[in-house]
Structure 1
Amino acid sequence: MGTIVIYSSNTGFTEQYALELSERLSCPCVSLKKLGKAELGAYDRIIFGGWVMGNAIMGLDKLRDIATPDAVFAVGCTPPFEEVVASIREQNKLADTPLFYLEGGLRLDKLGLPQRMILKAVKKSTAKKSDRDRQGDFMVEMLGTSFDHSDKAQLEPLAEYAGTWN
């Protein structure tokens, strides 16, 4: 029995973090797309990582259909503003489940046309607001460009937390 890292990634940032975390914890790492329900019986701890879209952690509900994660990491393109993290926690009904927010980035070349169009519309709509918050300012500045704000050091709190399980 041990720990497994399961992830859902869209442009690679979540996968990158999941692989690094599994290496640090010396445990298996598997994409949610390739996960077999029977596999989970061999593990007593599950760490789930998903990318964030509209404050929803993608893949979390699918995992919850078969298992309950012991910790969750969410990878988004905005900085870890307290209000963003609180909104992600609330929207995903995480209650007492430990949540770790990791900043990733945006790889426009990995997005399909519909996603790029949505981002363009969100940027345009947000730019028109006179009462933007910090997240809105960030979105206006950064959406529409590719960038990478990922940093393996952001995994430290999660790795330390999971290290207490052994």
Structure 2
Amino acid sequence: MVIVYQSKTGFTKQYAEMLGDSERVEVLPLKEAEQKLSSGTPVLFLGPLSAGRIVGLERARKAFLLRGVCGVGMSLPSPELPEKLRQGNQLGDLPVFYLQGGWAPDRVNPMTRAMVNLVTRSTRRELQARGADRTPQEEAMLDMLLHGGSFVSPDNLPSLQNWLSKQ
């Protein structure tokens, strides 16, 4: 098994490398993997989310034998997210995971920054309206949406590590 990833702002890359280090599995960016690996190579693919779609998934699906897929996004983790990713990305029976990454407005172009700000406007307003009633998680989420930030942590990896250890 090889971990293959696509990353735009670096959060997915961080997770892929953490996971590769902890499980002693080779990790390659998608472009490099397409050049180095054969088409039947089993991979775990990690990609950033954009409007519910896992970026790079179609390329990885065409190039490799997908054994599992993980989307990395800004949303708070929830039990429903992997199933939404499964349905929205037509993943069938594949194991699907979600990891909360972050937001790095300084690492994206102005158009992407404006689009993300538009899409997250209602979430920001909702969280701001809660004022002192915000949970610590919601406070951190609001700060990330307003200023950028990262939720990347090895503490988020146990389900993926457990799954990988059984492959």
TM-score normalised per structure 1: 0.81
Contact map agreement 2:3 2:16 (CA 8 A) in 1: yes
For structure 2, which runs of at least 5 residues remain unmatched after alignment? Answer: 127-137
Contact map agreement 1:37 1:66 (CA 8 A) in 2: no
Matched, 1:101 2:61: no
The equivalent of 2:12 in structure 1 is 14
Specify which structure has the higher proportion of helix.
Answer: 2
Contact map agreement 1:8 1:15 (CA 8 A) in 2: yes
**Percent of pairs identical after alignment?**
27
State the distance in 1 between where 2:34 and 2:117 align: 37
For structure 1, which runs of at least 5 residues remain unmatched after alignment? Answer: 130-136
State the distance in 2 between where 1:48 and 1:82 align: 20
Paired residues, what number? Answer: 154
1:7 to partner: Cα distance:
0.1
Contact map agreement 1:48 1:69 (CA 8 A) in 2: yes
State the secondary structure of the residue aligned to 2:118.
Answer: helix
Structure 1 residues 1-166: aligned runs within 5 Å: 3-36=1-34, 39-40=37-38, 43=41, 45-124=42-121, 141=142, 142-165=144-167
State the distance in 2 between where 1:103 and 1:123 align: 15
1:38 to partner: Cα distance:
5.5
Contact map agreement 2:12 2:101 (CA 8 A) in 1: yes
State the distance in 2 between where 1:158 and 1:33 align: 23
State the distance in 1 between where 2:26 and 2:107 align: 26
1:125 to partner: Cα distance:
5.8
State the distance in 1 between where 2:49 and 2:39 align: 27
Q: What value does the CA root-mean-square deviation take over the aligned residues?
A: 2.4
TM-score normalised per structure 2: 0.81
